[in-house]
Structure 1
Amino acid sequence: MKEILKGLALINLDQPVEGFRDFISCWLLQKNGLNILIDPGPASTILHLTSALNKAGVEKIDLILLTHIHIDHAGGTGLLLKKFPEARVVCHPKAIKHLINPEKLWAGSLQVLGSLAEVYGPVAPVPQANLGFAHLIEQNGLTIEAVETPGHASHHLVYKIDDLLFLGEVAGVNVPLQGSSYLRIATPPVFKYEIYRASLQKAAQLKAQHFCFGHYGHRTDGEQIFTQALNQLELWLSVIQKNIEKGVLEEDVILEQLLQKDAQLQSFHLLPADIQTRERYFCKNSIKGMMGYLLEEDD
């Protein structure tokens, strides 16, 4: 657990897979007498998470806020509730039925992620009584604003709490680097350009001072984050479209072009080798999502 600000800590949820370190952020916010967790992560690291909470003296969780229910963000929620059964879980209304009965969520995760889903672990059901949603949550004098941002997933939310904005994956994936930054788009299939762009623009309008990524870490340059993400979106779409027009559909070829042209990927060579491997995998997944959208548009 790493303290970012007074009352705000990042709990790092490393996975036993090459490059899956310094990647999944679980956030603990302690404010106005409340203990709030944002994205408790997959089932595989719930024991690690509860151990970290115990060491920090956290005896109760009041709220668990889920930005979305992809299993690396939310798959461990049901298991965590066995330790903290009083916690209220907030998620998008579309996600509630899949948390109550996670069979389709788990099957879809296996189909998309394959062996990585097995590493993250199966999704335990969440009791319906713990689940709910409201655009505004007011408790102990604290106001939490849940804002629908369906670009990365149809059930994606960002949460604004005072001067904090918990981004999930609305602006992509951030890798903290000393003296530099790396920001990578997160557009898995199914990708819809108009929805992704509108979600970025909506999140950019939420004024905050501290921006907390689901993947990974914390930044304070909000205007720059969203400008970079919007520019990256347009560049990737343009590069992929030009390749489609030339009949080039190989994701590896397109990625090499993006590594040369995208200013947000210029720090790629500074990443450790194992994290480069991880990022290549997810970059190609995003290329695949955008390519599917463009090919569908052409039809």
Structure 2
Amino acid sequence: MSAPTHFQTHADGLYVIDTGFERDLFDAAYLLVSPEGRAAFIDTGHNAAVPRLLATLAALGLRVEAVDWVIPTHVHLDHAGGAGLLMEQLPNARALIHPRGARHLVNPLALVEGARAVYGAEVVKATYGDIRPIPAERVVESHDDMTVQLGSRALRLIDTPGHARHHHCIWDEASRGWFTGDTFGISYREFDSAAGPWLFPTTTPVQFEPAAMRVSVQRMLAAQPQVIFPTHFGPITALDRVTAQFNALLDTFESGGLALRETLQREGRYGDKAAVEDALMAFMQRELVASALASGAPLDEARARELLRLDATLNAQGMAVWLAKAG
């Protein structure tokens, strides 16, 4: 039987799993293994990813009993939708969850309702399936600057709002890397060029906070990481390059969004939700595609626009929420 192709080895004891969500190379889960053979998953993808996660364990010769931790970076369903189903297969694992998100994985009703509000009930059902609860007694809530052990491998967690207030990021000293979820942006491999990767901030609903996002990223950079592991998608080592891209686009999103709100207010259209979202969507598409192509991405404008359509839509929705609250 051929070896599974859904995961790659990044380094000894660190594996990148393509969850298959949306398209190839879109959504990652990470498997860490200590020298003693103890294992942890960081992010899980959706329910349909669980067979891939379990197959990765099997391919590495690990039993389900070896998994000590399941650690969603936050509780958005592309990161944690499969956590409950996965936990049912891992008898020794505990789920390490941000305190603002833990209750939503113990009782996923509000989480599912929130996703329905963004995507629609039919899409949520078809995409994510039946979100399984995690028993409360198997949940550990994280706190800022917390350290947990994976055998002899230490994992440090910090509170990282900006994308979501229920977001923590995980520092792995062994790789000198941060598992950044969505706080430190998104980087798709289709946009890689000879000059390097391209990365952009995500402003998706409903807790985008640019000032908090900047602080969170600076806290991570203060550790002088050698690599970051965003969920979308895979390891990035060109940190000076992507940090500059991230900061420039975050500034553009913030200032451009505020200017657009002022224009719509002056024109008497800011009270029209559809007009606001259409204007923000056009703004996001324009800025994202322009930045990607300027970075050297080996794609034409039409293909870049196609690959970024979902992100532009969600970013526009999140910007609308933020602008309604921003001073």
In structure 2, C-alpha distance between the alignment counterparts of 1:51 and 1:10, rounded to whole Å: 13
Is the CA contact (8 Å cut-off) linking 1:228 and 1:264 kept in structure 2? no
Structure 2 residue aligned with 1:24, among 23, 27, 41? 27
1:172-191 alignment runs, 5 A limit: 172-176=185-189, 177-179=192-194, 180-190=196-206, 191=208
1:56-86 Cα distance to aligned partner (Å, 9 max, x none): 2221212111110111111111111221121
Is 1:101 aligned with 2:104? no
In structure 2, C-alpha distance between the alignment counterparts of 1:272 and 1:84, rounded to whole Å: 44
Please report how far the alpha carbon of residue 265 of structure 1 lies from its aligned counterpart in structure 2 after TM superposition: 6.5
Instruction: Indicate the residue corresponding to 2:282 in structure 1.
Output: 253
Identify if the C-alpha distance between structure 1 residues 264 and 212 changes in structure 2 by more than 3 Å, giving closer, same or farther. Answer: farther
Structure 2 residue aligned with 1:117, among 124, 145, 150? 124
Identify if the C-alpha distance between structure 1 residues 140 and 279 changes in structure 2 by more than 3 Å, giving closer, same or farther. Answer: same
Identify if the C-alpha distance between structure 1 residues 53 and 264 changes in structure 2 by more than 3 Å, giving closer, same or farther. Answer: farther
Give 2:214's aligned amino acid: R
Instruction: Indicate the residue corresponding to 1:73 in structure 2.
Output: 79
In structure 2, C-alpha distance between the alignment counterparts of 1:116 and 1:83, rounded to whole Å: 26
Please report how far the alpha carbon of residue 112 of structure 1 lies from its aligned counterpart in structure 2 after TM superposition: 1.5
Residue identity over aligned pairs, in percent, reads: 25
Q: Secondary structure at the match of 2:179?
A: strand
Instruction: Indicate the residue corresponding to 2:58 in structure 1.
Output: 54
Instruction: Indicate the residue corresponding to 2:269 in structure 1.
Output: none
TM-score (norm 1): 0.89
Instruction: Indicate the residue corresponding to 1:217 in structure 2.
Output: 234
Is the CA contact (8 Å cut-off) linking 2:281 and 2:316 kept in structure 1? no
1:209-243 Cα distance to aligned partner (Å, 9 max, x none): 12111110111123433332122110122222233
Determine which structure has greater relative contact order: mean sequence separation of CA pairs < 8 Å that are 6+ residues apart, divided by chain length: 1
In structure 2, C-alpha distance between the alignment counterparts of 1:256 and 1:100, rounded to whole Å: 36
Is 1:164 aligned with 2:162? no
In structure 2, C-alpha distance between the alignment counterparts of 1:48 and 1:42, rounded to whole Å: 11
In structure 2, C-alpha distance between the alignment counterparts of 1:80 and 1:272, rounded to whole Å: 39
**Worse-superposed segment, 58-67 or 134-143:** 134-143
Give the unaligned 5+ runs of structure 1: none
Instruction: Indicate the residue corresponding to 2:137 in structure 1.
Output: 129
Identify if the C-alpha distance between structure 1 residues 265 and 102 changes in structure 2 by more than 3 Å, giving closer, same or farther. Answer: farther
**Worse-superposed segment, 68-77 or 273-282:** 273-282
Is the CA contact (8 Å cut-off) linking 1:46 and 1:79 kept in structure 2? yes
Structure 2 residue aligned with 1:285, among 293, 314, 317? 314
TM-score (norm 2): 0.82
Structure 2 residue aligned with 1:149, among 156, 160, 163? 160
Identify if the C-alpha distance between structure 1 residues 132 and 97 changes in structure 2 by more than 3 Å, giving closer, same or farther. Answer: same
Instruction: Indicate the residue corresponding to 2:299 in structure 1.
Output: 270
In structure 2, C-alpha distance between the alignment counterparts of 1:172 and 1:30, rounded to whole Å: 25
Aligned residues: 295
Q: Secondary structure at the match of 1:181?
A: coil
Instruction: Indicate the residue corresponding to 1:42 in structure 2.
Output: 46
Give 1:8's aligned amino acid: L
In structure 2, C-alpha distance between the alignment counterparts of 1:12 and 1:295, rounded to whole Å: 36
Give 1:239's aligned amino acid: G
Is the CA contact (8 Å cut-off) linking 1:151 and 1:199 kept in structure 2? yes
Give 1:187's aligned amino acid: T
Give the unaligned 5+ runs of structure 2: 1-6, 265-274
In structure 1, C-alpha distance between the alignment counterparts of 2:73 and 2:107, rounded to whole Å: 18
